[in-house]
Chains A and B, each alone.
Chain A
Amino acid sequence: MLYLELLIQGIVQGSIYALIALGLTLVYGLLRILHVAHAALFTLGGYIGVIVTNQSGSLVFAMFVAAILVGLVGMAIYKLAYEPLLNQPPFIALIASIALFIASEELFRIGFGPYGISYASQPLTGHLELFAGFRLKYAEILVIGMSIIILSILAYLSVNTRIGVAWRASVTDPSMARAFGVNIQNVRYMNFFIGSALAAIAGVLVALLNNFVEPTMGSVASYKALAIIVLGGLGNIRGTLLASMLLGVIEAFGTIYIGHLIDRDALAFGFLIIVLMIRPQGLLGVK
């Protein structure tokens, strides 16, 4: 029973990781930028989710508002911060991104207070009794369900629509895509919009699970999401999803069984280093 519970916990955590890391890996695939500030958008999504839910009383509405607003912020970040740095060595954009991330954490702290905020009345508090004492919280079901639905829709769109094909073409070979008449600029904007919106949804879901948002909720997520996209083989979407799930499950079990030796966050990076030593291109990366 403990195994099953840990497994479910791992899958819930893995779904959250997947939603965050997917945006990150899309940015990397397209621009070769390690977008640390992505986690700030995750935090922003959480805050907007809680505030809008408290004001309007509707979680669904709040999730839409968070996704759209944060998507727009993501596009603005690309336009103002990354576009001028595309011709610089990659670490310049990385440091700029880290600076942006620290600055936004500070802004959250100054704007909303250091102690975080909660839902006025937490939505979806019940749970489903599956069998003999085994429970699944509604919020957990929502997290797993939403991730599966959103990722499936995205996968479908990227294969079956013009813009999806243009998007994949730009990731594979930007200059060739441009030669075939793809507007790279629009693809990048869309990329940032979708990636940031996913991070915002992840933020709202985490806020729901914990009934709490705080200025630093993105910090662990940001570095761990980097580990995940590297694990998956940078820019590789399937690898990213696999790595998210694996990491979620490994953390859930590792915290119980070897938590006294190294802490939870170090576990993720230990796993990362071991995998990279065996497969330097990541789990599903191509050399």
Chain B
Amino acid sequence: MDFVTMNILESSMVSLCKEMGIVLMKTSYSTIFNEALDFTCGLADMNGDMIAVADYCPAQIGGMPLLVKSCLKEIPIDEIEEGDVILHNDPYRGGLHTPEHTFFKPIFVDGEIMGFAVAIGHIAEVGGMAPGGFCGEATEIFQEGLRIPPVKIKKRGKDNIEVWKLLLANVRTPRVNYGDLRALIAAVDLGEKQMTQIYQKYGKQKIKETVNDLLLYSERRMRAELEAIPDGIYAFSDKIESDGIDADRTYTVAVEVHKRGGEIIVDYNGSSPQASGPINATLGVATSAAYNAVLHMTDPTIPRNSGCFRPIRVMAPPGTIVNVDFPAPEVGGNTETHPRIVGTILGAMAPAIPNRVMAAEGATHCNFVFGGVDADTGEYFACYDLEAVGWGGRAFADGNDGVDSINGNCRITPVEVYETRFPWRIESLAFNVDAGGAGEYRGGVGYSKQMLCLNDEIICSQMTDRHLLAPWGLNGGTEGGVGATLVMKNGRQDWQTMREAYGKASTSRYSNVSIRRGDRVRLVTPGGGGYGEPAKRDPAAVAEDVREGYVSKAAAQRHYGYQEA
């Protein structure tokens, strides 16, 4: 191995992936891209193996290899021409969920295909039953928006107009979608252009050899990390509350992690049969979640590519909540079930590597989606809004406060942007006191966001979790706080759940409620579980929590024996 060239090439490719993301951020129309950064840009070789990626969205990073490989099973490599751009979002053939659109463009050098520039992004509005793509009550895929098999949206550098027309005729916000789709194409255009220059600089053979070395290097480093973990079979399970259809039923995510030498096999056998509602994960999600969990447990400096995934295998039985069969709904699998799977794997591994795991996090993206016709402009608007949660305490630190769930790495949209783009006024946004589980290291806290409706009507839907089942603590830490979604209708003085106000089956998963001018909505996000016995917490840290408002005096006295100075 030529380590110098390998490092230079790896850094160049990762920088290029970051730059692709910046182009996407700066040229897109939706807040989900230009504020939340719910996308990922990467590079793949001609077999579909990921060779470089930037640190954007872990769900998409882990999903990328299966996505590209699945497309290549359907579009033979000899049918891909220079200037083509392939688009895909089908959850049942490698995809993550319907909103996640994958674009990839071949990189040709001297007439030979060398690999692909890849961009995956969450399109905020995809048609279907509910504005914003997250129908909490969907019972089949056809209610969740337009499903796109691998198709060429550009052929030899020219737009495939028929595909564009079909795409834009099936969504509520064609102007915005057009801008976002163009931004994704701009990202892969940049990736293709600059990677071609890198090939021309170093030569095809040198890059082929160096990329092979790079993948092998990542694989070896991952195997070395895994070898340091004691061999064994580690089991754990967790519950998901409701599927939006049967509010009182829970669904099990079960894992057995088989650690053998330098490899890990994650077996989900024992997980619940697939649900009627949209909490099911696809195979891509189940695979990505296993990768995500292992990346969180191992050295973060290992280069992210398909090499470091080689020692990880996934067993996801079909027809279950971790590997949905057609035509069951799936949109919440990528946002809600993915973090629950990661938490379950971390819980399983806690006895083996207590210093590298955390207690349960909020494990939801809140997924409050809405749409309507703007009274001022007459244009249809739609928004996918994600909110942050508290993370679990760790063996060496408190959980993070108000951070996007473990598979997102996204930002929340600033209040000023939110109010400018959509007809809501944000009346308050504040951390929830006492929402972090108590422990030697407390869980992070979630927050509450209160919004006033300024439009005649906004149609709202949601796909969230942890309204009933609290995030668990670890090693003596206590549970974190649960979330809630509440509405105060104009003229009333009381807050109601969506079940109470609109007769919905679930408080956390529902679709198409009509919020009227003057109504208020309050989103409360869950906290994280605590880690370690609360009695061992540093009294100075308890006093600081009380002073800063994270913990009330009453809770501090109850959990930590706090005495005011």
Whether both chains belong to one complex is answered with no
Footprint of B on A, CB under 8 Å? none
Footprint of A on B, CB under 8 Å? none
